[in-house]
Structure 1
Amino acid sequence: MDYYNTNANSFIENTLNLDLSDLYEKFTEHLKDNSKILDIGCGPGRDLKFFKNSGHNAIGVEPCRELAEFARNYSNCTVLRCSIQEFDDIDVYDAVWACASLLHLNTKELKETFLIIKNLLKSEGTFYCSFKYGEFEGERSGRFFNDQTLSSLEDLLPSDLKILESWITDDVRESSDEKWINILLKNIK
Structure 2
Amino acid sequence: MSITNQYYSENAQSFFDTTVNVDVQKLYDRFLPRIGSHGKILDAGCGSGRDSKNFLSLGYRVEAFDANESLVEPASEHLGQTVTQATFDSFSAEFKSFDAIWACACFRA
Report the TM-score, using the length of structure 2 for normalisation: 0.88
Alignment partner of 2:15 out of 11, 30, 48: 11
Kept in 2, the 8 Å contact 1:58–1:77? The answer is no
Question: What's the CA shift string for 1:14-58, capped at 9, x where partnerless?
Answer: 111100001011100111111111111101110010000010111
Structure 1, unaligned runs of 5 or more = 104-145, 147-189
Distance in 2 between residues matched to 1:65 and 1:87, nearest whole Å:
14
Offset, 1:90: 6.0
Give the equivalent residue in structure 1 for 2:98.
Answer: 93
Report the TM-score, using the length of structure 1 for normalisation: 0.52
Alignment partner of 1:41 out of 17, 42, 45: 45
Give the equivalent residue in structure 2 for 1:54.
Answer: 58
Structure 2, unaligned runs of 5 or more = none
Kept in 2, the 8 Å contact 1:60–1:77? The answer is no
For 1:13, give the aligned amino acid. Answer: D
Higher helix share goes to which structure?
Answer: 2
Higher strand share goes to which structure?
Answer: 1
3-state DSSP class of the match of 1:18? Answer: coil
Root mean square deviation of aligned Cα = 1.4
Distance in 2 between residues matched to 1:73 and 1:49, nearest whole Å:
10
Q: Which has the higher contact order (CA 8 A, sep 6+)?
A: 2
Distance in 1 between residues matched to 2:96 and 2:63, nearest whole Å:
15
Kept in 2, the 8 Å contact 1:33–1:56? The answer is yes
* In the alignment, structure 1 residue 29 sits paired with structure 2 residue 33: yes
Aligned length: 104
Computing the radius of gyration over CA atoms, which structure comes out larger, 1 or 2? 1
Kept in 2, the 8 Å contact 1:48–1:77? The answer is no
